[in-house]
Amino acid sequence: MPAHGSTMDNFNGSVLAEKSVSSNDGVEKMETDTPPSFEQKLAHLTKILGVAEGNTFPALNEESAMIIRVLIDSFNEEAFNDPERLPFVVEDLLERITVDIQPASSKGDSMDVDVANLGPVFKNPYIDEVVNTQGFQVVRYYMNVLDRLYVKSPDLAAFNSDLKVVVEANFLTLFRGFQDATFTKEVRFALLRLLLLDHFSLDLLFRLITVASDPALTDEDCLPEFLNPLLDLLRFCVSCGNLSILDDLMMEKPYVLLKNILNFKLNNHRVAAELLSNRIDFLPKMHTGHRGREISKLSYLGPFLAMGVCDIDCERNVFGGVDRFFPDIEHIPEDEIRFQTYGIYQSRMNTYRSHMRDILHTLLVNAPTRDKTLVFLAAILKYNKKRSQMQANHTKLATDAFMLNVMSVLLSLSEKITLDKVIPSYIFHPACRVDVRDETRLKFDSEELEEYEKTLDLNYDPKFPTECFFLAIHAVELGYNASIESMKRIKRHLSQVQTMVRETEAELKAAQKSGRPSARLEEKLKHQKATHVRIVRTLLCIECTIRCPILMEQTLIFTDKQLAFLINMINPNYQYDYSLPAEVPKMLGMYPELYLESVLEFVVFVMGMNPKILLARKSDLPQQLLVFLCSTHYLRNPFLCAKVIDVVYGICPDVNPGMASMHESLIMTPLAINQLVPSMIKFYSDLETGSDFYEKFNIRRSMQIIFRSLWTIALYRSKICEIALQCKDEFIRFVNMVINDATYLLDESLANLKKIHDIERKMDNEAVWNALNEEERQREQSTLSEAKRSVRSWLVMGDDTMDMFGYLTKDVPQPFYQDPLGDRVASMLNHNLLQLCGPKCTELKVKDDKRRFNWDPRRLLRQIVDIYLHLASEEFATAVGGDERSYTPEQFELAVERVFKVLGTSTGENFRNLGAMARQKYEAKMQMEDDYGDDIPDEYRDPILATLMSDPVKLPSGAIMDRKNILRILLSGEFDPFSRMPCRPDDLVPGMFFVV
């Protein structure tokens, strides 16, 4: 070990004589009653330095020890009594000793404290190899010296105090890098190993930090030069570990050590915490466009926050390191086996998250480091903001494990925050740490937002509860919800690969059967199966992480609080009076959509993945979300309301019987009783505009299930009937949308059944199929696959729509056969009756229809006929007979015969009677056309349908139309068909505008 400069350059005699370093053993007081003799001091120094005859430090040979003893015996009393000379004397002795200390391997010395294998745990063999180095023995030597110094010696207390300062300062010098690089590495890794094994006490470490922090004893660079390398090694250990290593007791050590080091207080200052927050890598400067990934990799705390099952980098929906967690699994295991395996990882992760929380809590509770820590947490969220995007590039962002851990920490820190401590206007404050500038608002646009911000009083300094609460909101969005989307994406990828495997297997089988070369297909199949295995393991990783019950419950508690926060802006007393203002409160309307959307997405996930957590907590979330379902006008985006629908749908007894108690508690609230049905009727119609064409069917199907569950409750059935009998515009629009949906869904279903029937017949005919070329066969197979996918979804939705049509028309038939709906209902029923019972009905037959597509033509016929009979009346018969597109008496009679055969005599007789009435109306209509024919003046004809007007009305454009025809047009959009001017039913002017 090369010599180094004197450590005593920073000492002076008065300091050494007067100052003693604080210690836990209480050895501080100076004994002056009987000063020790010079001989006692010499003997004591010989013992303390470990060179006493017969009691020499093991790594120091006897010859070297003898030389040191001779040197000590040669000292004169003046040197020992001079406080300015003693430090240099002791330092010289220590330096001579450390130079002569030999590595343990050279003497065959192996101590039981050094046999632990830490290298495999932290993926660094040098942590084990360091025990055979000189530096390791030197560190142990200083530990032994200080151990002897810390033993109480009342007669030598003052002398001991002087020696401790010298030894501790000299010990610190070893770690500061003054020696050659090899020796410096040895002593630093030796300190790390001894700390990890608990052989280097925290008391001793804290004593060294105390000395290094004292400006009277050391220079200002001492603390960072001593502590920063140790912090670096702790970070290094964590970055090399992962949960596939089962030695948690050792893997947790760097977390525990960092937590204890940061928590150490000196004169009411957490000196290590302040040192850490001032490091360049605490919040490093970002240099690339991959800032989300950069901050998780380059920041000091990044590796500490990255521990998890899905901590590895993700590319093309496949985690690069999945084989380490589920190495023997090739297919998704059964739930019981899978969840049991998950439980092991989840329990371990909860322990690590507890350590993460303690580390960050220490930094946040310490006033000098709080702001920098909040800046760091806000930067993580800012740089990973794109995780919430649908097509996010995850190679540029932090991993799911990292973000979920950050989220868990923030949720833990938010647990004790009460809403009265959270200031709603914080997101508009100039010092706001979350970026919501580009976010879409719940109700208002950017110009209205700009004007509103001018009216706010933002003259305050945000406090920690407010800042932490809003950071947690964004952490849930970027943590849990983004990870849920990751899981969905992986599941889609898995489904695609499974389809590819099946198709390749079919191609391979056909090739082998025909004797064609199959080597390329075999290689392709091998690659696809390998990809399948990796995606399966990837899915297990992400599912294991986000299914953690404790993490779910922790997030659920917070989202409950988050939703209560939003409702407080609507009505702080809502839980007592259940009243809602007619207009959206300004503050709420200015809030970003994600503040509500993140709650909805998470609750829907929990209800689908683990609803027992909701039941166990007796959460008020569904009742709180009902506020927004009953106030859809508060929200500009219909998809937000649709997500509330998803929550209510998820607790319907028909969907989830286990949630029946929660469903009952929701629908029996005063708000639900008074506003749920009218609000849903309005929203059902509002979906027609502002929503995706295909997505609206999924939303409406969920609403149909909710309506069906409400219909079984007498209170709600009477409410629906009351609204229907009033037959207001809103209900008419609602029924019109139901008719539109039924028409489209059944048309698509039956059209695709015909495609399936035709193509499969063609495939069954070997001669016809083989006559097609390869391109034509592929085109037919593609059409067939698309038809199969479509018919499965459309039939389910069509069945639910017809089911709702059935129970509504049974109890309140009048709105359905009166204008303006009667003609539309009759036309829809006639068309589908013709499809089922007409001359081409055989084209709807497909093989194994019930199992493959849930296609039951008997059930659909029953639904159609029941609706006919529910509406049976003179008015409806007129509408049926007046349908020129699908009705003829002959075709209806054929349908009657089919009904007799399929549905029985009683139903057949009733249906025949309705057919007879429809025939009479049809014949009367035909007679009138024969009587008048082309003699009807043009001014008496409806300008669009060219039929004789019976109730003419004037439109805002001045045009005259038959009332029932214009009302039907207005159902799809309230505008004048001639001028596109706004036009509502109230704008129609009745009267005779010509003389008949």
Torsion of CA 688, 693, 699, 701, to 10 degrees: 100
* 355 burial level (CB within 10 Å; 0-12, 13-18, 19+): middle
Distance of CA 99 to the CA centre of its chain: 58
Buried b (16+ CB within 10 A) or exposed e, 831-844: bbbbbbbbeebebb
Find out whether 485 and 601 touch, Cβ atoms under 8 Å. no
pLDDT of residue 275: 96
Is the pLDDT at 535 greater than 80, yes or no?
Answer: yes
Please tell me which residue, 939 or 357, carries the higher pLDDT value.
357
pLDDT band of residue 352 (cuts 50, 70, 90) is very high
Helix (H) or strand (E) holding 715: helix 714-726
Which tokens in the block code for residue 342? 């998950």
Residue percentage of the chain with pLDDT more than 90: 48
Q: Which two tokens stand for residue 368?
A: 């000098």
User: From CA 732, how far away is CA 730, in angstroms rounded?
Assistant: 5
C-beta of residue 347 within 8 angstroms of C-beta of residue 444: no
**Which residues share a beta bridge with 441?**
592
Tell me, what's the pLDDT at 157? 82
Q: Contact, 96 vs 138, CB < 8 A?
A: no
- So what's the pLDDT on residue 554? 94
d(CA 36, CA 162): 14
Residue 887 has pLDDT above 50, yes or no: yes
- The contacts of residue 408 (CB under 8 Å, 6+ apart) are 353, 356, 357, 479, 551, 554
Residues 48-99 have pLDDT tens digits of 888 888 788 888 888 888 898 888 888 888 777 777 888 888 888 888 998 8
Q: Which is nearest to 293 in space by CA: 318, 314, 324?
A: 314
Tokens 């001991």 — which residue? 160
Q: What is the DSSP string of 492-561?
A: HHHHHHHHHHHHHHHHHHHHHHHT---HHHHHHHHHHHHHHHHHHHHHHHHHHHHT-HHHHHHHHHHHHH
Under the banding of pLDDT at 50, 70 and 90, the label for residue 313 is low
Element (H, E) at 719: helix 714-726
Spatial neighbors of 371 by CB under 8 A, at least 6 apart, are: none
Q: How far apart are CA 742 and CA 744, in angstroms?
A: 6
Predicted pLDDT of residue 111: 46
Residues in the chain: 996
Q: Strand 314-315 relative to strand 989-990: parallel, antiparallel, unpaired?
A: unpaired
Could you read off the pLDDT of 760-798 as tens digits, one per residue?
898 888 888 888 888 888 899 889 989 998 898 889 999
Q: Do residues 557 and 550 lie in contact, with contact meaning Cβ atoms separated by under 8 Å?
A: no
| Residue 387 amino acid letter | R
pLDDT digits 0-9 by tens, 353-395: 999 999 999 999 999 999 999 999 999 999 999 998 888 888 8
pLDDT band at residue 850, thresholds of 50, 70 and 90? confident
pLDDT band at 309 (very low <50, low <70, confident <90, very high): confident
pLDDT at residue number 314? 57
Q: In Å, how far from its chain's centre is CA 551?
A: 11
Strands (E), 287-327: 314-315, 318-319
**Over 60: is that where the pLDDT of 425 sits?**
yes
pLDDT digits (tens, 9 = 90+) for 212-241: 999 988 899 999 999 999 999 999 999 988
Query: Would you call the peptide bond into 937 cis, given omega within 30 degrees of 0 as the criterion?
Result: no
d(CA 498, CA 137): 59
Q: Does the pLDDT of residue 829 top 80, yes or no? A: yes
Dist CA 733 CA 684 (whole Å): 9
Which contiguous run of DSSP H or E holds residue 55?
strand 55-56
Confidence check: pLDDT of 20 > 50: no
Residue 3: the pLDDT is: 43
Residue 954 bridge partners (DSSP): 960, 989
Give the three-class secondary structure for 887: coil
* 587 contact partners, CB below 8 Å, separation of at least 6: 424, 425, 569
Please state, in angstroms and rounded to a whole number, the distance separating the CA atoms of residues 710 and 649: 11
Which residue in 617, 512, 633 sits closest to 570, CA to CA? 633
Q: Which residues make Cβ contacts (< 8 Å) with residue 412, sequence separation at least 6? A: 353, 357, 361, 554
More confident residue, 693 or 15: 693
CA gap 604, 646 in Å, rounded: 7
Eight-state DSSP code of residue 591:
S
- pLDDT confidence bin for 11, thresholds 50/70/90: very low
Joined together, the tokens standing for residue 488 give 């969905």
> How many CB atoms lie under 10 A from the CB of residue 147?
12
Q: DSSP letter at 584?
A: -
